[in-house]
């Protein structure tokens, strides 16, 4: 996929014109983040230009795969992920160049801080998955420019349960202690997903329903930026709303974890941020490049809302009636969390019931705050909180997969852009 030269790049129609995007926002927002949320004209220009930017290192590697023997090249790629490029005698130069880049340690990486972010996420228990699913992911569907690639690849609107589970598996991999080390599960999963993104960029523009002039290229830099920031500032905001206090050091640690994940995913250095406030500004500005809600928002949002009804709860498998009642309760709980973050109009745009009240977060935020703060005071109780929280997260992931293999996106199944 070749993008227009930077000096001649048109503005995809999904982006708001600067006359609207650059309007000043309420003063209280400036007080919160330390600057006006609206982009300056150079910032806006950089954003709309980035709708034409993919991930050159991975895109070049995929082009090499197809120019040689795709099946053999893919096997070498998988081996390099699992065992390291050094495990391949006389490795092809394109493969060697790519892994030399991703295996280097960025000068800014602080692995101790990264591990602190992992520990904090473990301590949040089920609050983390609730926020990511019902706030970050559901809210992302309001941005229809981002949705088009998802719909055309069938990634989430067909078999939503499996796709949500696969995303959850990637999140679990990235938030394991040691998961972002070179041979950790998170590192390997992220490079694998990065390759899938490159496949989408290569194949999707051939689909007659995709329009570069409207959307830019698929899985472009701004779409990737909005995705990685959903796991940072969006999650942190949601944690506070659900009763989890976030200390400054914890905020920096979580942001650092997802900065590194974004870097591994192929996000350019200029879009990587270190702190929550900068992340909020950048996230807000990415919205200026997104189309308003449309039918894709309703289709994806509605499919996601029904996902709990497909879960398998092993401890209730011998009591079908109780199982049915419990998954219906989970369905209502997730709708309730979503209603805390989105108003009636937004819920209508997402294909969700408009009358659901945020009863679940309101009932649980207080007890969660008391339990979390009291158990975070001492190293022993904090460690037990972390262990219990992680166990809850792993159990929740298991209910999404049921008896299926716990894995991320798998070639040849749900994604038409994979090498076969």
- Judged against a pLDDT cut of 80, whether residue 243 lies above it is answered with yes
Give the model's pLDDT for residue 152.
Answer: 85
Give the model's pLDDT for residue 413.
Answer: 38
Write the secondary structure of 173-190 as one string of H (helix), E (strand) and C (coil).
Answer: HHCCCCCCCCCCHHHHHH
- 49 is a domain residue: no
Contact 86, 103 (CB under 8 A): no
Q: Round to whole Å and give the CA distance between 203 and 18.
A: 31
Give the model's pLDDT for residue 151.
Answer: 83
Average pLDDT of the chain to the nearest whole number: 88
Q: What percent of the chain has pLDDT over 90?
A: 70
**How many structural domains comprise the chain?**
1
- 11 is a domain residue: no
Contact 288, 44 (CB under 8 A): yes
Give the model's pLDDT for residue 359.
Answer: 97
- 14 is a domain residue: no
- Judged against a pLDDT cut of 60, whether residue 81 lies above it is answered with yes
Scanning the structure block, which residue is given the tokens 């499996």? 162
Q: Round to whole Å and give the CA distance between 280 and 240.
A: 15
Give the range of the structural domain holding residue 335, as residue numbers without chain letter. Answer: 56-82+91-401
- 214 is a domain residue: yes
Phi, psi dihedral angles at 358 (to 5 degrees):
-80, 50
Please state which of the ranges 1-15, 111-125, 178-192, 299-313 shows the lowest mean pLDDT. 1-15
The residue ranking higher by pLDDT, 177 or 158, is 177
- In the chain, the N- to C-terminal Cα span, in Å, equals 20
Question: Among candidates 377, 326, 360, which has minimal Cα distance to 123?
Answer: 377
Give the model's pLDDT for residue 412.
Answer: 37
Contact 189, 410 (CB under 8 A): no
Confidence of residue 1 (pLDDT cuts 50, 70, 90): low
- 111 is a domain residue: yes
Tokens of 45: 């220009």
Q: Could you tell me the pTM of the whole model?
A: 0.91
Give the model's pLDDT for residue 417.
Answer: 37
Tokens of 364: 């649980």
Please give the average per-residue pLDDT across 135-152, as a whole number. Answer: 87
Contact 54, 219 (CB under 8 A): yes
- 134 is a domain residue: yes
Contact 350, 141 (CB under 8 A): yes
- Judged against a pLDDT cut of 70, whether residue 216 lies above it is answered with yes
- 195 is a domain residue: yes
Q: Round to whole Å and give the CA distance between 247 and 243.
A: 13
Tokens of 20: 């609207």
Give the model's pLDDT for residue 315.
Answer: 86
Tokens of 259: 């900065």
Give 5: exposed, middle or buried? Use CB within 10 Å, 0-12, 13-18, 19+.
Answer: exposed
Contact 382, 144 (CB under 8 A): no
Number of H helices, E strands in the chain: 22, 0
What is the Cβ-side half-sphere exposure of residue 364, based on CA atoms within 13 angstroms?
A: 18
Give the model's pLDDT for residue 5.
Answer: 57
Confidence of residue 63 (pLDDT cuts 50, 70, 90): very high
- 23 is a domain residue: no
Is the Cα torsion angle 233, 124, 247, 244 positive or negative in sign? positive
């Amino acid at each position: 996929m070749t993008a227009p030269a930077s000096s001649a790049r048109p503005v995809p129609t999904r982006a708001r014109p600067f006359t609207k995007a650059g309007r000043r926002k309420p003063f209280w927002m400036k007080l919160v983040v330390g600057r006006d949320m609206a982009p300056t004209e150079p910032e806006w220009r950089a954003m709309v230009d980035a709708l034409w930017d993919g991930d050159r290192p991975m895109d070049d590697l995929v082009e090499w795969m197809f120019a040689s023997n795709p099946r053999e090249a893919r096997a070498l790629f998988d081996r390099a992920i699992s065992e390291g490029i050094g495990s391949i005698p006389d490795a092809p130069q394109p493969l060697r160049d790519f892994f030399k880049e991703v295996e280097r340690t960025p000068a800014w990486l602080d692995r101790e801080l990264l591990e602190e972010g992992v520990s904090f996420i473990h301590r949040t228990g089920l609050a983390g998955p609730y926020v990511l699913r019902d706030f970050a992911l559901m809210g992302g569907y309001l941005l229809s420019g981002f949705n088009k690639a998802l719909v055309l690849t069938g990634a989430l609107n067909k078999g939503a349960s499996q796709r949500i589970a696969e995303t959850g598996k990637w999140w679990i991999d990235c938030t394991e202690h040691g998961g972002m080390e070179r041979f950790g599960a998170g590192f390997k999963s992220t490079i694998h997903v990065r390759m899938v993104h490159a496949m989408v960029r290569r194949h999707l523009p051939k689909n007659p329903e995709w329009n570069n002039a409207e959307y830019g290229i698929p899985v472009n830099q701004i779409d990737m930026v909005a995705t990685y920031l959903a796991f940072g500032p969006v999650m942190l905001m949601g944690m506070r709303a659900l009763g989890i206090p976030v200390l400054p050091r914890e905020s920096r640690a979580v942001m650092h974890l997802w900065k590194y994940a974004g870097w591994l995913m192929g996000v350019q250095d200029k879009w990587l941020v270190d702190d929550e406030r900068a992340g909020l500004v950048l996230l807000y500005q990415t919205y200026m490049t997104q189309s308003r809600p449309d039918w894709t928002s309703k289709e994806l949002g509605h499919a996601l809302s029904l996902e709990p009804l497909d879960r398998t709860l092993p401890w209730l498998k011998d009591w079908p009636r109780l199982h049915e009642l419990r998954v219906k309760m989970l369905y209502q709980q997730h709708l309730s969390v979503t209603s805390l973050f989105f108003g009636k109009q937004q819920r209508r745009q997402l294909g969700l019931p408009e009358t659901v009240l945020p009863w679940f977060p309101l009932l649980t935020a207080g007890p969660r705050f008391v339990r979390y703060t009291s158990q975070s005071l001492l190293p022993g109780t904090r460690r037990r909180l972390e262990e219990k929280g992680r166990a809850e997260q792993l159990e929740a992931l298991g209910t999404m997969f049921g008896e299926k293999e716990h894995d991320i996106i798998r070639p040849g199944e749900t994604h038409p852009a994979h090498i076969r």
